[in-house]
Amino acid sequence: MTLANSQLREYLNHLIVERGLSKNTIAAYRRDVERFISEGDVPDLTQVSGGDLEAFIARSRARGLAESSVARSVVAVRNAVEFTCKESKTLNQIKDVKPPKIKMRLPKALSISEIDSLLITAKSPGNPDAIRESAILELLYGTGARISEVVSLNVGDVIKFDGGEVSSLRLTGKGGKTRVVPVGRYAREALDQYLVRVRPGLVSKDREALFLNDRGGRLSRQSMWTIVSQTAKRANISVDVSPHSLRHSYATHLLDGGADVRVVQELLGHSSVTTTQIYTLVTIDKLRESYSSAHPRAR
């Protein structure tokens, strides 16, 4: 193992133990920094120069990476170098190098009619997995949860009223932060159906996981992604639909309905309201469009 790889391992341990970042974030940091080390033949992270980072940016662009991916990779390398230099009390030569600026993209939300079509399609009689898939889709849209949060749900994270009906979910988000979110009637009914009629017949390997595959293990992130995209195709929705599309739709529809941005921030698990405010721009765009088409002196 080279010195640089050893330094990377120490940095990743720091992220796991002291900062408590999620497995997905750790994996992304590892991939980005390992690529920087191997492609640039970097022997020591404390000796990284601005030229090394610029060359890395050029190689990343040449590979066809999106600017957002390039920027994320640069941040990963900068953070690893900063940590290593601080630990070894060495001058950080790239502390002033900024990642590429990326144009802010507004999140794309589905219309309410598209959401209705998606959810109706999920529970169509011809779908043998309709109860499980309906519960997953209703929860993704009904709680705004990230796909990683739904995949990692355990039965113990389902909070019920005294009468035994599902009331809310305990979600574990980025950095291991937990939050409790309410579950609406449609999602409650779909989840109750899954818990009573489907899950008992699947339980074998993993007795804690909420959503199980046909072999009794925890349903994977990829399987859940496939469920969403395939259901969208069957529903004849023309745009690409992912689990995150449902999270975007959840936030946008809440704000369109008059929810306070601070409340939406808490529901989404955003650490900063600035992140949530991106969705308000979507709502403003809709208002501007309606104004332009309806007001006689708008044009």
Return the domain boundaries, the chain: 3-88, 112-290
Options 132, 199, 247, 253, the catalytic residue: 247
Starting at the edge strand found earlier in the chain, the sheet holding 178-182 runs: 158-160, 166-172, 178-182
108 catalytic per annotation: no
- The predicted structure's pLDDT at residue 96: 85
Helix (H, G, I), strand (E, B) or coil at 97: coil
72 catalytic per annotation: no
To the question of pTM greater than 0.75 for the whole model, the response is no
Cα–Cα dist 48/11, whole Å: 15
Options 78, 132, 146, 199, the catalytic residue: 146
Give the tens place of pLDDT for each residue, 154-210. 999 999 887 777 889 999 988 788 999 999 999 999 999 999 999 999 998 888 999
295 catalytic per annotation: no
Mean pLDDT estimate for the chain:
88
Cα–Cα dist 174/123, whole Å: 31
244 catalytic per annotation: yes
279 catalytic per annotation: yes
Options 72, 132, 199, 270, the catalytic residue: 270
Residues 74-89, mean pLDDT to the nearest whole number: 94
Residue 253 pLDDT greater than 70, yes or no: yes
Options 174, 179, 221, 234, the catalytic residue: 174
Helical packing angle, 112-122 and 243-256, nearest 10°: 130
Cα–Cα dist 142/160, whole Å: 16
Contacts of 124 by beta carbon, 8 Å cutoff, 6+ apart: 130, 234
Cα–Cα dist 281/275, whole Å: 11
Domain 3-88 has CATH 1.10.287: no
Question: Residues 110, 118: contact at Cβ < 8 Å?
Answer: yes
Structure tokens at 5: 């790889």
Positions of E strands within the chain: 158-160, 166-172, 178-182
Residue 212 pLDDT greater than 90, yes or no: yes
State how far the alpha carbon of 240 is from the alpha carbons of 27, 61, 202, 278, in Å.
Answer: 25, 25, 30, 20
Which class in CATH covers the domain with range 112-290? mainly alpha
174 catalytic per annotation: yes
